[in-house]
Structure 1
Amino acid sequence: MALRIEDYALIGDRRTAALVGRNGSIDWLCLPRFDSAACMAALLGSEEHGHWQIEPAGEYESSRRYLSSSSVLETTFRTATGTVTLTDLMPRGDGRADVVRRVRGVEGTVRLCLQWRVRMEYGQVVPWVRREEIGGEQVITAVAGPDLLVLRGPRLPTARDHTHNDEFDVEAGEELTYSMAWMPSHRRVEHLGELDDRIRQTIDQDEDWAQLCRTDLRHPEAVKRSLLTLRLMTHEATGGIVAAPTTSLPEAFGGSRNWDYRYCWLRDAALTLASLLEAGYSDEAMLWRDWLLRAVAGDPHDVQVMYAVDGARRLEEYELDHLPGYEDSRPVRVGNAAVGQLQHDVIGEVMDALERVRGATDEADPNAWALQTALLSGLAENWREPDSGIWEVRGEPRHFTHSQAMVWVAFDRAVRAVEEHGLEGPVEEWRRIRDEVREEVLTRGYDEERGTFTQHYDTDEVDASLLVLGAFGLVDGDDPRMLGTIRAVEEDLMRDGLVLRYRTSSGVDGLDGDEHPFLACSFWLVEAYAEAGRMEDATALYDRLVGLANDVGLYAEEYDPATGRMVGNFPQAFSHLTLTQAAFALARNSNSPSAPR
């Protein structure tokens, strides 16, 4: 059975990632890409669906940390007879996907158990496994279809019932290194190479990158870890950032709200770009911008809300019936049907992000502007149509207020580009649409009686996405309409001090079941508090949210305050990028006077 979600940590090589439990078990690993089929899928089933565990044979206590400002995980096991450390990483450097696990004896003697069980195609296919010699070294190879895995180590485990096991003692000062490499099965393997240089290079790259992070922020280490996590979830070759490296970790245990997040949402990419710019990573932000431009290139009417990490468009959703799901949460899904939805807000977020790049770098990329004007042309034709909104509802499309507000953002940023940067375009038409959309949002998307913006037109329901309207400039953050919206969110969407996305009981999303407070929405409330001048409330909520991270600083999508458990896909890019945005908002508004509630 899989561990609690918060008991996992992330390692990766910026092409894919693995989840490592505090018990030394790799329970989720997709090779060679984030969205490849898992070869270890115990996370969504049992050990029979694939895992790789190294742990003490008897009782033990474990603790863990990331080494310095890196993505290298160190787990310490303490037993009655001694202490060992297990260092896990996926080194970068040659484009090959490797997992490296290094055991080191610290004191005494510890007996360790190793189990290596590979199951391709999400735990469904048992590979052909054999021992062979490569470059004078004895290794174990596992082949299934296009995939080849090569296990190296000082002691190769023995096979029984398609599983490899070993038990061995580790003395103080002793060090054993195991590695597993992926490569195409048709490739002839003649030399596996040395690991030490690649390990050192991986640590140095992470630490050099982290040194550039701003330190003038509240809880700077939390911000740094969030940015490192976002970087780890970004495909190094393409620049696309996945929403999470997992699929189907449920929004409610035992429920059906289980989605595949191993793809690149334009929204997430755009918001991450904005966070990187504010954190001082302009070079990294340009890589994100380049991915955005490639991803949305083509007919503006064909823009999707998400793509594969390489920009592929076909992400059809299907179910894996052979997997029981995390804590019996079915179905397990691969692909995402939301790929075909209309979501107006995406264009607004992309336009805002690209305008930020232009303002921060003074770079006028004619290709970027040509693409932006094409996107605006498409949006000008369809902005009046109802859409599925930021939450990708699977119910009836509606005129979501947040979506329409982001339409305003799109045309507002286009007007700014002309007025402030001298770019060319039909600015009078853009001004007309911008003003028309704003007037409509302020009338049809606002409830005068309650004094709040509403989830969609013709309702009195509220939605946490409304909290960002001030940050994007539709109205000021301390405008009475925003203050009223904050109050309405506090009244309708707060659960134990954290924020729900919306009330699922309204049926707006067309789904069964409930969900828990959404961490990104709670960070949005921090930002809204700060922009409204409620700095004490903003700081208190931010401090609490930072304290909800697991022991290595990671967040899932949601949090259940009743049980103290993380819920949903993990780690979640949206949670981490909104943490950074909240930190920046606190810094920007730290000297502002307090406003009344």
Structure 2
Amino acid sequence: MTQTVRQETAIAEHGLIGDLQTAALVTTDGSIDWFCCPRFDSPSVFGALLDDERGGRFRIRPADPGYTAKQMYLPDTAVLVTRFFTEDGMGQVVDFMPPTGATATDNHRIVRIVQCVRGSMTFEIDVEPRFDYGRHPHHLEMSENGAVFAANGQKLTLHVVREPDDERLLQAFGDGDGHATLPLVAGQTRGVVLESAADGPPREIRPADIKALFDETVSYWRNWLAQSTYRGRWREDIQRSAITLKLMTYAPTGGIVAAPTAALPEQVGGERNWDYRYTWVRDASFSIFALMRLGFHDEAAQFGRWLGDRIRERMGSDSGPLNIMYRIDGSSDLKEDSLDHWRGYRGSAPVRIGNGAAEQLQLDIYGEAMDSIFAGVMGGLPLANQGWTAVSHVLDWLADNWDQDEEGIWETRGGRQPFTYGRVMCWVAFDRGIRLATEKALPAPLERWTAARDAIYRQVMEQGFHESRHAFVQHYNTDVLDASLLRMPTVGMIDGRDPLWLSTMQAMDGELVTDSLVYRYDPEASPDGLRGSEGTFSLCSFAYVDALTRSDRVDDARLAFEKMLTYGNHVGLYSEEIALTGEQIGNFPQAFTHLQLIDAALTLDAALDGRPPR
């Protein structure tokens, strides 16, 4: 007898909601199948995204199996609307999480407003939590106004939204899970609120109270977005990317997670399944730079403080001033483990949590950090004496350590090499430090820093450029191309019209680019210590647009950008990679991709308006 294995909902069939301390993914059929609580990097409560049978979910959908569904964001907000259509009527579920404050809390709310807009519709509600990645069984306590799901000291409280004369909503429960039906006619609004660490038992909530909470949340997002100074051609795409970056920001510290998910595969069925729910210095620095370019300065100031704290923690350390990544609170315990009881997204195992790459040496992070600090200070943010002392410490350490082998930007596990991109970003670190010292008349060993900067430049030009390939290559001991180097003209290491760069672009066009999509590198030509292949990297594809623009190939850049927009999902979100089929794969949504979309659009906008790129 053949056993049927249920398949997880496609990665692209999700929208994202969040409250600036954690986030949830909502499928196009109304199911929350990924939610970690109380933080981004906490164990999951709903994890059907990684195991449809054992992961757990919170689903609201029509009882009529013949429905069709569409999903959208309420304009200029992070409020997600899933609309259902049947022969009898049209209804919708409105999902949001009221933003939390800047103080870390275990209390979080998922609000699910259920409405019948036309005709009539009966909804089914299924609440099936699986605490601690499904490793802890839970028990259920039911009351007239809702239910409490509890396991291992953690609890979720379900509050019912109804009018006083409504019949009891929660009618059927079994095996510790919640199941209910909700018949509605046009104009009726009901729903549920799922709350972690609730103060007290389930309570009855009126639709008017939920409407007030909805209005407050909408107002928060629209007021935040009003700070944007962007008025260019792709305003809606840019604003959605900005909101997505904000949703991935942990408000108490300013750290930005690389993605709110873990273990989504870079190749379906493969082993490249990493946990991205942490703050990479690189990704967060780039994200802050992108937000600053749009006019969002508070996020830059807060991240600057977070980064300064990390540097000061390691003052005097022999292993360098920074790790490549941290937990969102700044701690560095990211021990990697596998969830062997989960099958993984479409059978992609192992399901990894934690990240063993945290201790790698990746020298490029100092360039990205310095670039964001420089941009912030030049944009008007203060640089206190304590901050300059930390910056000086980083550059003094780097002057002694830049010329060594490292693991590189892609966290390969095939051994250290003299990666060209790492050298380029070390050059950026010294260049921005020298500029800061000069512009602000700050004390610095300028002669030493300048000597290091110039030595890196000469080394990259002499050893990073491969004569027979006519291109800059991944590292000095190979002829393999690497899309990370698309950022060379962006950071100012080389002019985009330099013959060395134009021939590099020509080489990449022939080997790494397919229909505007860009591969990171060829893993067969440059073994990275892992089995299998991968899709094209979306951040590289947007970086390609930026590089084309700076190479005076503006028409090519615009076409590539417009093509990339067709690969976004139905609400404008992007995962890490695009498979050959056009399917989104990898962790979702990915901050790196959305920040690079912003950068590419701003550079292309300037070129189309006849302005020089920044």
TM-score normalised to the size of structure 2? 0.93
**Matched residue of 1:358: which SS?**
helix
By how many angstroms is 1:216 displaced?
A: 2.8
* Counterpart mapping for 1:228-267 below 5 A: 228-267=243-282
1:25 to 18, 31, 52: 31
Task: Tell me if 1:417 matches 2:436.
Answer: yes
By how many angstroms is 1:156 displaced?
A: 2.0
1:166 to 180, 184, 187: 180
Change (3 A) 1:271 1:508: same
Task: Tell me if 1:469 matches 2:488.
Answer: yes
**Matched residue of 2:119: which SS?**
strand
Task: Tell me if 1:178 matches 2:192.
Answer: yes
Q: Aligned pair count?
A: 587
Cα distance in 1 between the residues matched to 2:219 and 2:544: 36
Task: Confirm or deny: 8 A CA contact 1:464 1:500 kept in the other structure.
Answer: yes
Task: Confirm or deny: 8 A CA contact 1:92 1:199 kept in the other structure.
Answer: no
Match of 2:608 in 1: 590
Change (3 A) 1:421 1:191: farther
Cα distance in 1 between the residues matched to 2:398 and 2:213: 46
Match of 1:6 in 2: 12
By how many angstroms is 1:334 displaced?
A: 0.6
2:448 to 421, 424, 429: 429
Match of 1:306 in 2: 325
Output the amino acid matched with 1:282. Answer: H
Task: Confirm or deny: 8 A CA contact 2:148 2:202 kept in the other structure.
Answer: no
**CA-to-partner distance for each residue in 1:356-404, whole Å, 9 max, x for gaps?**
1111106232222111111112212221111111101111110000001
Cα distance in 1 between the residues matched to 2:178 and 2:311: 45
Task: Tell me if 1:78 matches 2:82.
Answer: no
Cα distance in 2 between the residues matched to 1:93 and 1:486: 45
Output the amino acid matched with 1:42. Answer: A
Change (3 A) 1:330 1:235: same
Match of 1:124 in 2: 135
Task: Tell me if 1:382 matches 2:401.
Answer: yes
**Matched residue of 1:361: which SS?**
coil
CA RMSD in angstroms, aligned pairs only: 1.8
Task: Tell me if 1:548 matches 2:567.
Answer: yes
Cα distance in 1 between the residues matched to 2:503 and 2:248: 37
Change (3 A) 1:567 1:147: same
By how many angstroms is 1:162 displaced?
A: 2.5
Task: Confirm or deny: 8 A CA contact 1:92 1:198 kept in the other structure.
Answer: no
2:76 to 65, 69, 75: 69
**Matched residue of 1:503: which SS?**
coil
Cα distance in 2 between the residues matched to 1:128 and 1:296: 44
**Matched residue of 1:74: which SS?**
strand
Task: Confirm or deny: 8 A CA contact 1:396 1:508 kept in the other structure.
Answer: no
Match of 2:242 in 1: 227
Task: Confirm or deny: 8 A CA contact 2:45 2:56 kept in the other structure.
Answer: yes
Change (3 A) 1:420 1:471: same
1:295 to 310, 326, 336: 310
Cα distance in 2 between the residues matched to 1:256 and 1:450: 31
Task: Confirm or deny: 8 A CA contact 1:109 1:172 kept in the other structure.
Answer: yes
By how many angstroms is 1:71 displaced?
A: 0.5
Task: Tell me if 1:105 matches 2:124.
Answer: no
List alignment gaps of at least 5 residues for structure 2: 1-6, 163-168
Larger mean Cα displacement after TM superposition, 585-594 or 114-123: 585-594
1:569 to 580, 583, 587: 587
**CA-to-partner distance for each residue in 1:204-228, whole Å, 9 max, x for gaps?**
0101111222343231100000000
**CA-to-partner distance for each residue in 1:448-490, whole Å, 9 max, x for gaps?**
2322111100221110011101111111121111111111111
Task: Tell me if 1:451 matches 2:470.
Answer: yes
Output the amino acid matched with 1:335. Answer: G
Match of 1:517 in 2: 536
**CA-to-partner distance for each residue in 1:90-116, whole Å, 9 max, x for gaps?**
112565311111111111111211111
**Matched residue of 2:413: which SS?**
coil
Cα distance in 2 between the residues matched to 1:305 and 1:284: 20
Task: Confirm or deny: 8 A CA contact 2:472 2:481 kept in the other structure.
Answer: yes
Task: Confirm or deny: 8 A CA contact 2:159 2:202 kept in the other structure.
Answer: no
By how many angstroms is 1:269 displaced?
A: 1.2
**Matched residue of 1:254: which SS?**
coil
Task: Tell me if 1:156 matches 2:167.
Answer: no
**Matched residue of 1:86: which SS?**
strand
**Matched residue of 2:536: which SS?**
coil
Cα distance in 2 between the residues matched to 1:237 and 1:130: 32
**Matched residue of 1:469: which SS?**
helix
Cα distance in 2 between the residues matched to 1:415 and 1:49: 51
Task: Tell me if 1:281 matches 2:281.
Answer: no
**Matched residue of 1:370: which SS?**
helix
Among all aligned residue pairs of Structure 1 and Structure 2, give the percentage whose two residues are the same amino acid: 37
Change (3 A) 1:372 1:157: farther
Cα distance in 2 between the residues matched to 1:21 and 1:591: 39
Task: Confirm or deny: 8 A CA contact 2:480 2:526 kept in the other structure.
Answer: no
Task: Confirm or deny: 8 A CA contact 1:114 1:157 kept in the other structure.
Answer: no
Task: Confirm or deny: 8 A CA contact 2:146 2:202 kept in the other structure.
Answer: no
TM-score normalised to the size of structure 1? 0.95
Change (3 A) 1:167 1:382: same
Task: Confirm or deny: 8 A CA contact 2:516 2:563 kept in the other structure.
Answer: no
